[in-house]
Amino acid sequence: MRAILPPSPPVPSSPADAAPPALTWGDWPEPEAGPGDVVLRVVATAVNRADLLQVRGHYPPPPGASPILGLEAAGYVERVGAAVSGFTPGQPAMALLAGGGYAERVVVDARHLLPVPPGLELVAAAAIPEVFVTAWLNLFRLGRLAPGERVLIHGGSGGVGTAAIQLACARGAVVYATAGGAERCRRCVALGATAAFDHRDAAVDFAAAMQDEGGVDVVLDVMGAKLLERNLRALAPGGRLVVIGLQGGRKAEIDLGRVLAARLTVVGSTLRGRDADDKAALLAGFAREVLPLFDAGRVRPIIDRILPLPEVEVAHGLLARGEVFGKVVLAVPPAGTGPQNAE
């Protein structure tokens, strides 16, 4: 099959401002499937910030995962293992992956596969699993966000952020967001946020603004160290800070006095490295609680643009420069096209 080939030998960790290694579309061995697996013929995958880190030798795939990039995909079930029930060949499906999505075919544990919401094209479905499961898990399971509560979503313009704003609104929460620039803030408000704060404007203090509102119950943070002090200040008594990204560094001082006095919770999580059973249980909960929202048209993937998968470097460049609102989808070229073709 054809895939975006992982750099060989693997790239040693390199700083974010160094040029990334070239990503080429070429031939790769077919993945092997076990009895509990499904082979998915990938129609589209989508870019995640984690992919940019992996290319530079950070955030390596967990043990046993494909070295090929790609944390989510949508396509058609091609083959099912002997122990699989609930999926049949030819059926459209979307997959949460620990890797392997940037390819013509991917093997996925059948329990990590979801039906495609009715009326949604596969290129749209490809942009759902990683960011919507992340947003749902961290807002509601870890952040315990309840209807009527206030939530601050950092990076409201990103893949996770655009999913989180919609999910929190659908739950009946009052949503605030941060994004870079007035236009991106405006688009967060159009998605349902009550207000959005421009993180590029040094005069804007989101923590003070949130305190003026009585504080927020949950902060969903993609920045880490850089925002820790302000995030703790933004929280109301009993508030929960959920850290899912470290774009602003991993080490910071914490005022435990504030944590104690305001009875705050600070929690972090990752999705990719969880074991297969844990992910299966999460996806069952996600299917129950979130898929009906897609069916009802209350949430949708926010797609900035769709590019052919071999143009992955263009896509990564757009994300690295902050030129994407929501998601970039990568469409797999039809078999028999392109400079290299294994079939």
Contact residues: ligand NAP, CB under 6 A: 48-50, 130-131, 134, 154-155, 157-161, 178-180, 184, 199, 222-223, 244-245, 247, 269-271, 319, 322
Distance CA(75)–CA(95), nearest Å, equals 9
CA angle 117–119–122, rounded 5-degree value: 70
CA distances from 180 to 41, 87, 188 (A): 36, 42, 11
How many Å apart are CA 36 and CA 305, to the nearest integer? 34
Would you say the C-alpha torsion 33, 45, 169, 320 has a positive or negative sign?
Answer: positive
Tell me, rounded to whole angstroms, the distance of Cα 320 from its chain centroid: 15
Dihedral sign from CA coordinates of 33, 60, 112, 343: negative
* Cα gap 243→275, rounded to integer Å: 20
Give least dist CB 222 to ligand NAP, A. Answer: 4
Indicate the residue among 88 and 270 with the shorter CB distance to ligand NAP: 270
Closer of 184 and 300 to ligand NAP (Cβ):
184
Beta carbon of residue 232, minimum distance to ligand NAP (angstroms, whole number): 15
User: In this complex, which beta carbon is closest to ligand NAP, that of residue 39 or of residue 131?
Assistant: 131
Which residue, 180 or 308, has its beta carbon nearer to ligand NAP?
180
* Phi/psi at 257 (5° precision): -60, -45
Q: By the 8 A CB rule, do 107 and 70 touch?
A: no
Q: Toward ligand NAP, which CB reaches closer, 113 or 179? A: 179
Instruction: Give the residue with the Cβ less far from ligand NAP, 143 or 158.
Output: 158
CB of 16: closest distance to ligand NAP in angstroms? 12
Nearer to ligand NAP, 276 or 342 (CB): 276
Which CB atom, from 171 or from 187, has the smaller least distance to ligand NAP?
A: 187
Looking at the Cβ atoms of 77 and 114, the one nearer to ligand NAP is 114
Torsion angle of C-alpha atoms 133, 134, 135, 136, degrees rounded to 10: 50
The DSSP result for 211-273, as a single string, is HHTT-EEEEEESSGGGGHHHHHHHEEEEEEEEE---TT-S-----HHHHHHTT-EEEE--STT
CA distance linking residue 207 with residue 213, whole number of Å:
10
Q: Which residues of 165-197 are buried (b: 16+ CB within 10 A; e: fewer)?
A: bbbbbebebbbbbbbbeeebbebbbebbbebbb
Beta carbon of residue 196, minimum distance to ligand NAP (angstroms, whole number)? 9
